[in-house]
Amino acid sequence: MAKPLLIIGNKNYSSWSLRPWLALKVAGIEFDEQVVPLFGDDWATRKAELPSGTVPVLQHDCIAIWETLAILEYAAETWPNAHLWPQDKTTRAVARAAANEMHAGFAKVRSHMPMNIRGSYPGRGLHPGVAETIRRIETLWGECRARFGQGGDFLFGEFCIADAMFAPVVSRFSTYAVPLNAVCQAYRDAVQALPAMQEWSVAALAEPWIIDEDEIDFIEGRTEKA
Ligand SMILES: N[C@@H](CCC(=O)N[C@@H](CS)C(=O)NCC(=O)O)C(=O)O
């Protein structure tokens, strides 16, 4: 089978890109990657080449798949031995619900705490509504760990797509030093300790690009666009 190509954005900022990249890496699926610097000088041209103008995109066997969850579902079906979803039907249903809730929700955390791997902003981003969203995430993680997490350190025991979906939230909770209960802190640490997560972070730190709009100072009106 030909190697897929995953087209992604800047590793420091592109939360959607992190999700399939991490899932493929943890599953041991070989792929090539191409980084498209978001909002760079030639962004208009690069954007026009992407099916929906966004990253990530997975190219494989003559098709280009956009939308993160569709990419992850394709990977789960194409490489079934990677067990990207839990094997048990009930567990898988809850894992899918968690992944979908992440895809569609948690807007307050996403907009007020943008993923910024090289940043360290303890206590920043806690705008009205953000704390409530964090509590919902804590409740969800806690329930998954308590009910399904016995077989490992992740939400459903072994690492699965739901963990890939939450990886950018884990990263945000580190950047903004969000205080978490012990169960969620242990989960955050387990995700951060993944060698693939560390590999992504090292690459993010080496990137030269700065996206003003994704920097907390800009979002909170403390700096003008450079
Ligand atoms: N719904 C899409 C969202 C993808 C997305 O918004 N990606 C961002 C980067 S993290 C992007 O490409 N932004 C560029 C733009 O909107 O022009 C998915 O699930 O993959």
Beta bridge partners of 157: 154
Q: Which residues of 99-117 are buried (b: 16+ CB within 10 A; e: fewer)?
A: bebbeeebebbbebbbbbb
DSSP notation for 48-99: HTSTTS-S-EEEETTEEEESHHHHHHHHHHHSGGG--S-SSHHHHHHHHHHH
Quote the tokens at residue 136.
């919902």
Of all protein residues, the one whose alpha carbon is nearest to atom 6 of ligand 1 is 54
pLDDT digits (tens, 9 = 90+) for 110-123: 999 999 999 999 99
Q: Quick one: which of 103, 78, 75 has its CA closest to 160?
A: 75
pLDDT digits (tens, 9 = 90+) for 129-141: 899 999 999 999 9
Distance 16 CA to ligand 1 centre (A): 6
Q: Residues lining ligand 1, CB < 6 A? A: 9, 14-17, 38, 47, 53-56, 67-68
Domains of the chain: 5-82 (3.40.30.10), 89-204 (1.20.1050)
Instruction: Give the model's pLDDT for residue 223.
Output: 76
Of all protein residues, the one whose alpha carbon is nearest to atom 12 of ligand 1 is 54
Give the ligand 1 atom nearest the CA of 13. 10
Give the ligand 1 atom nearest the CA of 47. 17
Distance 106 CA to ligand 1 centre (A): 15
Distance 183 CA to ligand 1 centre (A): 30
Q: What is the mean predicted confidence (pLDDT) over 157-183?
A: 98
Q: Quick one: which of 92, 94, 102 has its CA closest to 69?
A: 102
Distance 120 CA to ligand 1 centre (A): 23
- Best of 16, 67, 172 for a ligand 1 pocket test (most atoms within 8 Å of beta carbon): 16
Band (pLDDT 50/70/90 cuts) for residue 222 is confident
3-state secondary structure of 129: coil
pLDDT digits (tens, 9 = 90+) for 8-55: 999 999 999 999 999 999 999 999 999 999 998 899 999 999 999 999
Q: What is the mean predicted confidence (pLDDT) over 146-152?
A: 97
Q: What is the mean predicted confidence (pLDDT) over 74-92?
A: 98
Instruction: Give the model's pLDDT for residue 70.
Output: 98
> Does 225 have pLDDT greater than 80?
no
> Does 96 have pLDDT greater than 80?
yes
